[in-house]
């Protein structure tokens, strides 16, 4: 927080720290616009990172070691310390150049995103301090892109931590018992993994589709059984399921049918299910925020690929409120290494990102009332 407070002093902006949960602070900076009555721009980033396995890294993962070719190694270089710093440096550049902003700009640095964000942004959006921001558009993280294009995300898949319990008749393992948990378990697994196969094939058959356009299902947990000669009364199976916003109701209906077809005594729980079907309009001429973002990217020569984010970000909480949100990390010609060993970002890509964000922020913060 001391670093962020120092950055706020350098920018000459208001700074406050709020606790989303005890021990989980969020820092908020405010740059007042010329017309505070207009909806504001939010530049969001998260401060937490995933764990590291130092023995698999070329350098100390928290040293920000830079090689001669400009590659900077460190946990968070892609996810997402880079973007948070790019916001700050872009604003410093714009202030130094004497630019004015019609709309108020907020910067938020939140905790807990890598754990789902429920005790970070999930709490922050419920607080009065957030409601008073009057956000019109929020920017947040995206992905690195290995091609010349840069990816912008206008929605994200929903995450289910699905646990299905199958109850059945217990007994001796030497018998052909009816109505066993194992038979129901097999039906459930076959149904879900069969659908997984069809979605994987759908992705392979259509080169225009991205991972965020299909549903992924992966078996991740198996529970049950006492010993080899005892047929168990209960077996459980867990799946990690990621669903595009447009497919949520369809999959819910299919899941209910699969469970019914497998037999009685089957229950399921979604765990931390958070359904966000909302997406941001990215059609030209239909959303002034998108038009401004797109125009800034065109001015910078940035070629955009529009996608549904295949994983989860803090923007699920923001879109749920009906607020426009875009995920964008200006990283092209870069392998996607978030959460991986030896995560790095080249300094030229990083510095170019500051230039791009300078144009984007200037355009968005001066969107005319509509």
Active site (catalytic) residues = 48, 113
The three-class DSSP label of residue 17 is strand
- pLDDT score, position 206: 98
The three-class DSSP label of residue 56 is helix
- pLDDT score, position 274: 79
Cα distances (Å, whole numbers) of residue 130 to 91, 135, 288: 21, 8, 22
Q: What is the DSSP string of 322-368?
A: T-EEEEE----S----TTSTT-EEEHHHHHHHHHHHHHHHHHHTTPP
What CA–CA distance (Å, rounded) separates 134 from 110?
A: 18
Domains and CATH numbers, the chain: 2-156+277-364 (3.40.630.10), 158-243 (3.30.70.360)
Residue labelled with tokens 């616009």: 33
Mean pLDDT for each 10-residue chunk of the chain (370 residues)?
A: 96 97 96 98 98 98 98 98 98 97 98 95 97 98 97 95 97 97 98 98 97 98 97 98 94 97 95 84 98 98 97 95 98 97 98 98 95
- pLDDT score, position 130: 98
Instruction: Walk across the sheet containing 40-46 and list its strands.
Output: 14-21, 24-31, 105-110, 40-46, 135-140, 324-328, 150-156, 304-309
With a pLDDT cut of 90, the percent of the chain lying above it is 97
What CA–CA distance (Å, rounded) separates 255 from 261?
A: 10
- Helices 181-205 and 248-262: crossing angle, nearest 10°? 150
What CA–CA distance (Å, rounded) separates 90 from 65?
A: 23
Name which of 339, 317, 321, 311 is nearest 159 in CA terms.
311
CA angle 206, 209, 345 (to 5 degrees): 130
How long, in residues, is the chain?
Answer: 370
Q: DSSP class of residue 228?
A: T
Q: Judging by DSSP bridges, how do beta strands 150-156 and 304-309 pair with one another?
A: parallel
- pLDDT score, position 4: 97
- pLDDT score, position 276: 81
Instruction: Report residue 64 as tokens.
Output: 């920000």
E-only strand ranges, the chain: 14-21, 24-31, 40-46, 65-66, 71-73, 105-110, 135-140, 150-156, 158-167, 171-172, 216-224, 230-231, 234-243, 266-269, 304-309, 324-328, 344-346
CA angle 302, 307, 312 (to 5 degrees): 115
């Amino acid at each position: 927080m001391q670093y962020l407070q120092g950055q706020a002093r350098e920018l000459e902006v208001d700074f406050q720290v709020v606790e989303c949960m005890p021990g989980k602070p969020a820092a908020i900076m405010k740059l007042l616009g010329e017309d505070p009555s207009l909806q504001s721009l939010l530049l969001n980033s998260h401060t937490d990172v995933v764990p590291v396995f130092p023995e698999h890294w070329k350098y100390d993962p928290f040293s920000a070691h830079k090689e001669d070719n400009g590659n900077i190694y460190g946990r968070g270089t892609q996810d997402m310390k880079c973007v948070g710093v790019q916001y700050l440096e872009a604003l410093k550049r714009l202030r130094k150049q004497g630019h004015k902003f019609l709309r108020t700009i907020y910067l938020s640095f939140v905790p807990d995103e890598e754990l789902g964000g429920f005790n970070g942004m999930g709490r922050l959006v419920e607080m009065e301090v957030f409601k008073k921001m009057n956000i019109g558009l929020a920017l947040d993280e995206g992905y690195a892109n290995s091609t010349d294009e840069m990816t912008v995300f206008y929605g994200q898949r929903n995450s289910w931590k699905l646990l299905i319990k199958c109850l059945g008749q217990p007994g001796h393992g030497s018998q052909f018992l009816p109505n066993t948990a194992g038979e129901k378990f097999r039906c459930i697994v076959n149904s879900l993994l069969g659908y997984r196969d069809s979605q994987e094939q759908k992705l392979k058959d259509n080169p225009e589709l991205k991972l965020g356009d299909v549903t992924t299902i992966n078996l991740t947990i198996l529970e049950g059984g006492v010993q080899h000669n005892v047929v168990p009364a209960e077996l459980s199976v867990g799946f990690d399921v990621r669903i595009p916003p447009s497919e949520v109701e369809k999959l819910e209906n299919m899941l209910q049918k699969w469970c019914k077809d497998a037999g009685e005594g089957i229950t399921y729980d979604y765990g931390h299910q958070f359904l966000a079907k909302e997406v941001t309009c990215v059609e030209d001429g239909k959303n002034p925020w998108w038009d401004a973002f797109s125009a800034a990217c065109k001015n910078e020569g940035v070629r955009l690929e529009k996608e549904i984010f295949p994983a989860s970000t803090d923007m699920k909480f923001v879109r749920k409120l009906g607020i426009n949100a875009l995920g964008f990390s200006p990283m092209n010609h870069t392998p996607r290494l978030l959460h991986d060993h030896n995560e790095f970002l080249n300094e030229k890509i990083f510095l170019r990102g500051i230039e791009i964000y300078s144009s984007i922020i200037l355009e968005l913060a001066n969107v005319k009332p509509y």
